[in-house]
Amino acid sequence: MTPPALRAAHDAIRRGDMAAAFSAAQAATAESPQSAEAWWLLGTAAAGVDAFQTAEEAFAEAARNAPAGSRLRAQMLSLRGKPLMSDGRVAEAVDSAREAVAGGQADTASLVRVSYTLTHAGLPGEALPLMLAATESDPHHAEAWYSLGSVCRAMGDIKGAEAAFKKAIDLSPTPPVAAYFNLAYLRRWTPEDNHIPVLEAMACRTSLEACRVAYTLFKEYDDLGRTEEAWDCLQVGSELARKIEPWSAAEEAETVAAWKAHFPPARFGRPDDRPRRGPKRIFIVGLPRSGTTLVERILAAHSQVQALGELKTFGVVTHRLTRVETDRRLAPDVVAAAARLDPLAIADAYARETAFLQDGHAYVIDKLPSNHEYAGLIRLAFPDAIIVALDRNPMDALFGSYKLLFTGAYGWSYTQDDLAEHYRHFRDLMGYWKSVLGDGLIQVSLEALIADPETEIRRLIAACGLPFEDACLSPHEAKGAVSTASAVQVRKPINAEGVGAWKRYETRLSPLRNRLRDLGFAAD
């Protein structure tokens, strides 16, 4: 007979009441601590209420209680990946994913989860054969095709990605919003070839689905030059996104003030020559859509350089070491606690967490635009690190962010007022870091790079202390995965396609332009 708590947890999950399922599953694990099923229920419910640490611990306990070498154990190990990734424990997530596959019992759903973990950890090349095998053995599994599309996109196989996403759409029993969303950004659509009628008729089940449909419609209407319809869709999407991911200009102002207060210029006058682990680090920072991925590809084309992707690791390990319990990753008390840490402890933790990605190159790149917040702390943790800061015309950079849906990041990108306020704080903080880091912050203008690529690339390579290599002039040919919004664009030669793109919506963007001018920034 099924224990009452176990039955109650199952019932609550079936009706979508994750809070009730969480309570019932906690009771079930207390009643039956050796039950893999009870721990699986707790992990599922915990993930449903965003209690990721509890979810990971529950799935790990379920795996320990599952028979060795069983399909159940593989399933539980694969389920650990997403909560571990959400908690920033990427190396552990990869280890768990690999263990799930190693037993040879992973089913298609588990392989899809493993692929998610590996791709988001910057290892799509490792995920690719798994998803090719999954779609071959289970060719009617829509999620497997969707996962294959994501892997192909990251690997630069745009045709393969398009075919896989279309297959996922054809096989999906419900409207595959995510597949349409990703498909839309693979190429330019035409009046004869687009998905607008299907998207317009789509019934969305959640606010996030409606949000994704709106952004997808913006992209396809914009491709067709139908800017009025495109703008209307963007307004619907951005309004929904702001409700899903609220952002506070006042909180960002507090964070900038905290960085200045707790990391005064005197902190940067005492070189720390204690040895650090691993290769020489290159951090590329700036606004999203400012050219950070292009610069990453330029440097990654060099024989001595490896790109590790967009890593949240530096911020995650810093927050973890501060031991400050808060939902705000950079609340002022977190910054204050970070200032009291030994920078070498941060460097060691970062090195341990990223070691699994490295393949022996002398230089490695960490390209996360929002690491601009940590620039000073990065310098203290890695005194010889190369920090490259991108600059771009604010109207192009901010419109580039405004027209994209960054799920789980950049909550400032959904209204014109928030875009301007964030830019003000971004420039304030970057100005401060420049004043204390001086030549330790290498500045690159995207417009200058596009206008005179060879001159700017030679300057950048020299500033990084590297010998020049001709391959750096052809970044579109550089090998390696790209998982950012620029994944398609950077596979093309350097071009000016995006320069002045905001002017298609010049009248509509006048509030942003006027606000930037009021703040003293050029906006032309």
Answer whether 24's CB lies under 8 Å from 2's CB.
Answer: no
Please count the structural domains in the chain.
2
Q: What is the pLDDT of residue 453?
A: 94
Q: What is the pLDDT of residue 326?
A: 83
170 Cβ neighbours under 8 A, 6+ residues apart: none
Classify residue 476: in a domain, yes or no: yes
Q: What is the pLDDT of residue 491?
A: 56
Q: What is the pLDDT of residue 237?
A: 97
Say what percent of the chain tops pLDDT 70: 97
Range from 231-235, 282-286, 441-445, 485-489 carrying the lowest mean pLDDT: 485-489
Within 13 Å of residue 71, how many CA atoms lie on the same side as its CB?
Answer: 5
Q: 343 and 330 in one domain?
A: yes
Taking 60 as the threshold, does the pLDDT of residue 9 lie above it? yes
> Cα–Cα distance between 296 and 149 in angstroms, integer?
23
Taking 60 as the threshold, does the pLDDT of residue 481 lie above it? no
pLDDT band at 484 (very low <50, low <70, confident <90, very high): low
Query: Model confidence over 396-411: pLDDT tens digits?
Result: 999 999 999 988 789 9
Classify residue 26: in a domain, yes or no: no
- Encoding tokens for residue 274? 């204690």
Query: Model confidence over 165-176: pLDDT tens digits?
Result: 999 999 998 889
Q: Which helix (H) or strand (E) holds 254?
A: helix 249-262
Scanning the structure block, which residue is given the tokens 């493993």? Answer: 114
Q: 455 and 312 in one domain?
A: yes
CATH of the domain at 277: 3.40.50.300
What's the count of helices (H) and strands (E) in the chain, helices before strands? 25, 5
Query: Model confidence over 98-128: pLDDT tens digits?
Result: 999 998 888 999 999 999 999 999 899 999 9
Classify residue 105: in a domain, yes or no: no
Q: What is the pLDDT of residue 496?
A: 74
The last residue of a domain, from among 223, 244, 265: 244
Q: What is the pLDDT of residue 524?
A: 78
Q: What is the pLDDT of residue 490?
A: 56
Query: What average pLDDT does the segment 308-336 reach?
Result: 92
Q: 324 and 217 in one domain?
A: no
Q: 254 and 238 in one domain?
A: no
Q: What is the pLDDT of residue 480?
A: 60
Answer whether 155's CB lies under 8 Å from 125's CB.
Answer: yes
Classify residue 74: in a domain, yes or no: no
Q: What is the pLDDT of residue 153?
A: 92
Query: What average pLDDT does the segment 426-455 reach?
Result: 95
Q: Which residues of 218-246 are buried (b: 16+ CB within 10 A; e: fewer)?
A: bbbbbbeeebebbbebbebbbebbbeebe
> Cα–Cα distance between 97 and 116 in angstroms, integer?
9
Q: What is the pLDDT of residue 295?
A: 95
Q: 344 and 221 in one domain?
A: no
CA angle, residues 353, 151, 498, in degrees to nearest 5: 95
Answer whether 516's CB lies under 8 Å from 395's CB.
Answer: yes
| Nearest residue to 200 (alpha-carbon basis) of 228, 235, 249, 233 | 233
Say what percent of the chain tops pLDDT 90: 76
Q: 331 and 192 in one domain?
A: no
Q: What is the pLDDT of residue 219?
A: 97
Query: Model confidence over 196-249: pLDDT tens digits?
Result: 999 999 989 899 999 999 999 999 999 999 999 999 999 999 999 999 999 999
Query: What average pLDDT does the segment 255-282 reach?
Result: 93
Classify residue 338: in a domain, yes or no: yes
Mean confidence (pLDDT) of the chain = 92
Q: 439 and 397 in one domain?
A: yes
> Cα–Cα distance between 255 and 466 in angstroms, integer?
35
Residues β-bridged to residue 444: 390
Q: 230 and 341 in one domain?
A: no
Q: 208 and 350 in one domain?
A: no
pLDDT band at 187 (very low <50, low <70, confident <90, very high): very high
Which residue range(s) make up the domain with 341?
A: 249-510
DSSP per-residue string spanning 182-220: HHHTSS--BTTB--HHHHHTPPPSSHHHHHHHHHHHHHH
> Cα–Cα distance between 142 and 153 in angstroms, integer?
17
Q: What is the pLDDT of residue 346?
A: 97
- Encoding tokens for residue 84? 């571990």
Give the type of residue at 452: D
Query: What average pLDDT does the segment 132-150 reach?
Result: 96
Measured between alpha carbons, how far is residue 246 from residues 146, 238, 426 in Å? 29, 11, 18
> Cα–Cα distance between 303 and 305 in angstroms, integer?
6
Query: Model confidence over 362-398: pLDDT tens digits?
Result: 999 999 999 999 999 999 999 999 999 999 999 999 9
Diameter of the chain measured on Cα atoms: 75
Taking 60 as the threshold, does the pLDDT of residue 88 lie above it? yes
pLDDT band at 303 (very low <50, low <70, confident <90, very high): very high
Taking 90 as the threshold, does the pLDDT of residue 502 lie above it? yes
Q: What is the pLDDT of residue 487?
A: 53
> Cα–Cα distance between 25 and 5 in angstroms, integer?
7
Within 13 Å of residue 318, how many CA atoms lie on the same side as its CB?
Answer: 26
Q: 254 and 240 in one domain?
A: no
Q: What is the pLDDT of residue 500?
A: 87
Answer whether 456's CB lies under 8 Å from 444's CB.
Answer: yes
Helix (H, G, I), strand (E, B) or coil at 277: coil
Phi, psi of 117 (to 5 degrees): -60, -50
Q: 240 and 260 in one domain?
A: no
90-102 helix and 71-86 helix, angle to the nearest 10 degrees? 170
Classify residue 392: in a domain, yes or no: yes
Q: 330 and 194 in one domain?
A: no
Pairing of strands 280-285, 363-367: parallel
The last residue of a domain, from among 203, 228, 244: 244
Q: What is the pLDDT of residue 409?
A: 85
The last residue of a domain, from among 182, 212, 244: 244
Answer whether 280's CB lies under 8 Å from 388's CB.
Answer: no
DSSP per-residue string spanning 319-343: HHHHT---S-TT-HHHHHHHHHS-H
Residues β-bridged to residue 391: 445
Classify residue 164: in a domain, yes or no: no
Classify residue 289: in a domain, yes or no: yes
517 Cβ neighbours under 8 A, 6+ residues apart: 523
Give the type of residue at 491: R
